[in-house]
A and B are shown apart, each in its own frame.
Chain A
Amino acid sequence: MSIVLETINLSRILQEGDLKVTLVDNINLQLASGEFTAITGPSGSGKSSLLYLLGLLDSPTQGDLLINGQSTTQLSEEERAWIRLNSFGFVFQFHFLLAELTVLENVMVPMRQLGKLTRQVMGKRALELLAAVGIADQSYKRPAQLSGGQRQRVAIARALANDPQFIFADEPTGALDTKNANAVFDLLAGLARDQGKTVAVVTHDENLASKTWRRLRMEDGRLVDNTNFERRLG
C-alpha cells in the first residue's frame, strides 16, 4: 500500500473582480493505491472542486498536487491531457456518452485517442469491459436506447478503457435509483479491491459513503473529518 496521490496545501480561489470565493482551502491529503475513498459534505462545500483538482481538470491557485511523487503544477495543458488519458478515468453524474456512437464505440473512444492497440484488440477489450459491468448484450445499441443505470455502467466501462490507475467519480449515482446506485458502488469497490485502482467518489449520500473504506468530509472548502484514514493505511 503506497501513497500515489498527495496534496500539499492545495487551494483553489475563484476571483472575479472584487468577489473572492475560496472553493478549496489549504487541503493536505494522501491517497493510496487500492483505496476506495468517499468525499462527502453539504452542497457548496467544495467536494467537487477538490475532485476536479485531483483529476487535473482544474488547476490550484496555491499548493501542489503530486501524482506518483511528481509535481503537476508546472505541467502544460497538453501534458495534463496526456495524464488524464493514460492514468485517469472519470465518471460524472451525467453519463456524457456520445449520442451518435454505439455503446461499444463510446467505450473505445479513450483507446482510439491513446492509439496503442489495434482495432481488433480495442473492440475485444471494450466488449470485455462491457461484460464486466454486466451489459455486454447492449454493445451495439445507441446510448439513447439504454436505461439510466445501463448508461452509467457504460460510462464506467469507458472510464476503465485505458486501464487507468485512478478513478474519479462525481456523484456517479445521483441520477440512479437505490438498486442501480448500489450496483454502481459495488462496481467501483471491486475496482479498488480486485485491481488495486485508487478510487475517489464524491457523494452527498451518507448511506452509500458508508460502503467505502475511507471518508473525507468537507465543509466550506476545508477537510473537517479524516476518519478511517489510518484504518486502510495501517
Chain B
Amino acid sequence: MIPLSLLISWSHLIVRKRQTLASVLGVAMGVGFFISVSGMMKGFHDFFRTQIIESNAHIVISDEVRHPPRQPAELTYQNAAIQVKRAFPQEPVRGILGASTIIDSLHQQGIAAAPVLRGQVLLRRSGRDAAVSMLGIDPDIEGTVTTLPEDLIAGSLNALNSVPDGIIIGNLLAEKLGASLGDSLIAATPAGIITNLKIVGVFRTGLNQLDEGQTYVHLVKQQSLQNRPRVINEIRIRLPDVAQSIPVASSLETRWGYKAAPWEETNSRVLAVFQIQNLIIYSTVSAILIVAGFGIFNIISTVVLEKSRDIAILRSIGLNSSNISNIFVIEGTVVGFLGSLMGWIIGYGLSWGIEQIPAPGASDPTQTLIVDGSLDRYLLAGALAVITSILAGWLPARKAARLNPLLIVRGAT
C-alpha cells in the first residue's frame, strides 16, 4: 500500500497541477540545457583535442634542456661572490646528439618515432610573404607519427623523395600566397640561402595554427637549407596509448636529458582555455538548476503555509515530525525526478537540434556542431536536479516539522 506521506504529497501535487507542472518544467529546462550545452562544449573540446592529438606528435623531444648548463666560470668559482669579466659563454652545437640512438631505442620498444629538423623560412610568391616554420622530415616514416599523409588534400608525401625541391604547405598558407599544387615559391632561410621550392602537396588539419604556419620539406633538403648538415633538433613520437604521454615523456627526459614535451604541455594554453570554458559553461548551466530549485522551494514553502492546518491535525493524530517533513521532501523529490525525466527528453532533443547546425568557421563546410551525448552527462544532470529538488523540499519541510500543532488547533477554536 502507498505510504501515508506519499499519498498526501501526491494529493498536494495533483491539486496544484499548474504549479507542479511549472516547477517540473523549470527542472526539466535546467536538465535539458545542462545536457545539451555542456554536451556541445564537451563535443567541441573532444573534437579539438582529437585534432591536436592526431595532427601533432604525442611527444616531441627537442634539443633543449630544462635547465641551461652552468657556465665553466660558475663551476670553477662555486658559491663565490666574484664577477668574471669577459668570460664568454660556451656555445654548444645545437641539435640532438645521438638522435639515431634515441630513435632506434624507441623503435625497439615498439614506439613510433621520426626525426625532424625544425627551422624558420620566409616564403615569397608574387610579392606576398609568409614567415613560417619549416620541418625537414623523413617522408618514409613521417606517417607513423603524424596524420600528414591522411591530411593531404592534394599531391603526395612521397613526392618529397622524387622532387628534391619539393615542399608541402597547408591549405590556408596556399590561399594566403595565392599558390597551388605545382607552383614555385621563393624560400629564404636564416642561414642566408635563397632558393626555389615547388609545391608538391597541400594539407589541411583543421587547426589554423598548422594550416597557416607549418611547411614540410625533405629532411636532407632542410639540413642544407638551414646549413646544418646531419643535424636533427626534434624527435617526434607517437605512442600506442596517448594517455601515457606524460609518464613516457618524463621517463624519456630523465633517460636522455633532452626536453621531452608531451602534447599536453605543448598545447597547455589551449587546454587551459578549455578548462576556463568548462568552468563558465558548468557554472551557467548549474545556475539554471539552482534557479529551478528556488522555484521548487518557493512552491513548497507556500504549500507548507497553506497546509499548516493539515500539518496540525496530522501531528495531533500522531504523525511525528519526520513523518511530516517526509511529505514535503517527497514532493521535492517527485518534482526532481519528473523534471529529470522530462529534462532528458528535452536535452536529447536540443542535442539533436544543435547537431544539425553547421559549425561556424569550420574548414569542412559539411561539418556540424558536435554534441557529446554520453550517458554519464545525463546521469550527472539528473543527479544534480534531484539533489537540488530534495534540498528545495527539505528546507520548507524542516519548518513544517517544527510547526507547533497547538498554535493552529487553538487558533481555529
> Scoring B residues 1 to 33 as 1 if CB is less than 8 Å from chain A, else 0, what string do you get?
101100110011011000000000000000000
- A52 B406 Cβ-Cβ under 8 A: yes
For B319, give its contact among A48, A55, A81, A83 (CB under 8 Å). Answer: A81
Q: Which residues of A contact B11 (CB under 8 A)?
A: 98, 100-101
- B8 A98 Cβ-Cβ under 8 A: yes
- A113 B318 Cβ-Cβ under 8 A: yes
Cα separation A119 to B405 with both chains bound (whole Å): 28
- A137 contacts chain B at the CB level, 8 A cutoff: no
B252 → chain A closest CB, angstroms = 67
- B321 A58 Cβ-Cβ under 8 A: no
- B318 A86 Cβ-Cβ under 8 A: yes
Q: Given A90-B317, A98-B8, A100-B12, are A113 and B405 also a contact pair (CB < 8 Å)? A: no
Which residue on B lies nearest to A52, using beta carbons? B406
- B321 A112 Cβ-Cβ under 8 A: no
- B1 A92 Cβ-Cβ under 8 A: no
- A113 B319 Cβ-Cβ under 8 A: yes
Q: Given A112-B1, A174-B413, are A96 and B309 also a contact pair (CB < 8 Å)? A: yes
For A82, give its contact among B316, B318, B412 (CB under 8 Å). Answer: B318
Which residue on A lies nearest to B322, using beta carbons? A78
Q: Which residues of A contact B319 (CB under 8 A)?
A: 81, 85, 113
Cα separation A81 to B406 with both chains bound (whole Å): 13
Q: Given A52-B406, A92-B413, are A81 and B4 also a contact pair (CB < 8 Å)? A: no
The residue in B11, B314, B409, B410 that gathers the most chain A C-beta atoms within 10 A of its C-beta is B409
Cα separation A88 to B3 with both chains bound (whole Å): 21
Which residue on B lies nearest to A87, using beta carbons? B318
- B97 contacts chain A at the CB level, 8 A cutoff: no
Cα separation A139 to B11 with both chains bound (whole Å): 17
Q: Given A81-B319, A82-B318, A84-B318, are A171 and B7 also a contact pair (CB < 8 Å)? A: no
Which residue on A lies nearest to B1, using beta carbons? A119
- B392 contacts chain A at the CB level, 8 A cutoff: no
Q: Given A81-B320, A100-B11, A119-B1, are A93 and B413 also a contact pair (CB < 8 Å)? A: yes
Cα separation A113 to B412 with both chains bound (whole Å): 24
- A135 contacts chain B at the CB level, 8 A cutoff: no
- A96 B318 Cβ-Cβ under 8 A: no
Q: Which residues of B contact A132 (CB under 8 A)?
A: none
Q: Which residues of A contact B15 (CB under 8 A)?
A: 99-100
B319 → chain A closest CB, angstroms = 6
Q: Which residues of B contact A81 (CB under 8 A)?
A: 315, 318-320
- B317 A92 Cβ-Cβ under 8 A: no
- B413 A113 Cβ-Cβ under 8 A: no
Cα separation A212 to B314 with both chains bound (whole Å): 28
- A35 contacts chain B at the CB level, 8 A cutoff: no
Cα separation A109 to B406 with both chains bound (whole Å): 20
- A113 B7 Cβ-Cβ under 8 A: no
- B1 A57 Cβ-Cβ under 8 A: no
- B104 contacts chain A at the CB level, 8 A cutoff: no
For A92, give its contact among B3, B310, B320, B409 (CB under 8 Å). Answer: B409
Cα separation A109 to B317 with both chains bound (whole Å): 9
In the complex, how many residue pairs between chain A and chain B have their CB atoms under 8 Å apart? 87
Cα separation A105 to B4 with both chains bound (whole Å): 10
Size category of the binding interface on chain A: 35 or more
- B313 contacts chain A at the CB level, 8 A cutoff: yes
Cα separation A113 to B409 with both chains bound (whole Å): 20
- A34 contacts chain B at the CB level, 8 A cutoff: no
- A109 B320 Cβ-Cβ under 8 A: no
Q: Which residues of A contact B313 (CB under 8 A)?
A: 90, 92, 96, 98
Cα separation A75 to B148 with both chains bound (whole Å): 81
Cα separation A114 to B11 with both chains bound (whole Å): 20
B324 → chain A closest CB, angstroms = 10
- B323 contacts chain A at the CB level, 8 A cutoff: yes
- A78 B412 Cβ-Cβ under 8 A: no
> Scoring A residues 96 to 119 as 1 if CB is less than 8 Å from chain B, else 0, what string do you get?
101111000100011011100011
Cα separation A58 to B312 with both chains bound (whole Å): 13
Q: Which residues of B contact A82 (CB under 8 A)?
A: 318, 320
- B317 A113 Cβ-Cβ under 8 A: yes
Cα separation A85 to B323 with both chains bound (whole Å): 13
For B318, give its contact among A85, A92, A101, A174 (CB under 8 Å). Answer: A85
- A77 contacts chain B at the CB level, 8 A cutoff: yes
Which residue on A lies nearest to B12, using beta carbons? A100
For A110, give its contact among B8, B317, B409 (CB under 8 Å). Answer: B317
Cα separation A163 to B4 with both chains bound (whole Å): 19
Q: Which residues of B contact A55 (CB under 8 A)?
A: 316
- A110 B318 Cβ-Cβ under 8 A: yes
Q: Which residues of A contact B406 (CB under 8 A)?
A: 52, 57-58
- A92 B412 Cβ-Cβ under 8 A: yes
- B4 A112 Cβ-Cβ under 8 A: yes
Which residue on B lies nearest to A58, using beta carbons? B406
Cα separation A109 to B8 with both chains bound (whole Å): 10
Cα separation A81 to B7 with both chains bound (whole Å): 20
Q: Which residues of A contact B3 (CB under 8 A)?
A: 112
CB proximity to B under 8 Å, residues A200-231: none
Q: Which residues of A contact B12 (CB under 8 A)?
A: 100
Q: Given A96-B312, A98-B11, A98-B310, are A77 and B321 also a contact pair (CB < 8 Å)? A: yes
Cα separation A99 to B8 with both chains bound (whole Å): 10
Q: Which residues of B contact A77 (CB under 8 A)?
A: 320-321
Cα separation A96 to B320 with both chains bound (whole Å): 17
CB proximity to A under 8 Å, residues B320-345: 320-321, 323
Q: Report, nearest first, the 8 A-B pairs whose CB atoms are least far apart.
A: A85-B318, A100-B11, A96-B313, A94-B412, A84-B318, A81-B320, A112-B4, A119-B1
Some 7 contacts from A to B, beta carbons below 8 A apart, are: A92-B316, A92-B409, A96-B313, A96-B409, A100-B15, A113-B4, A113-B317
Query: Which residue numbers of B lie inside 8 Å of A, CB to CB?
Result: 1, 3-4, 7-8, 11-12, 14-15, 309-310, 312-321, 323, 405-406, 409-410, 412-413
Query: Which residue numbers of A lie inside 8 Å of B, CB to CB?
Result: 48, 52, 55, 57-58, 77-78, 81-86, 88, 90, 92-94, 96, 98-101, 105, 109-110, 112-114, 118-119, 158, 170-171, 174
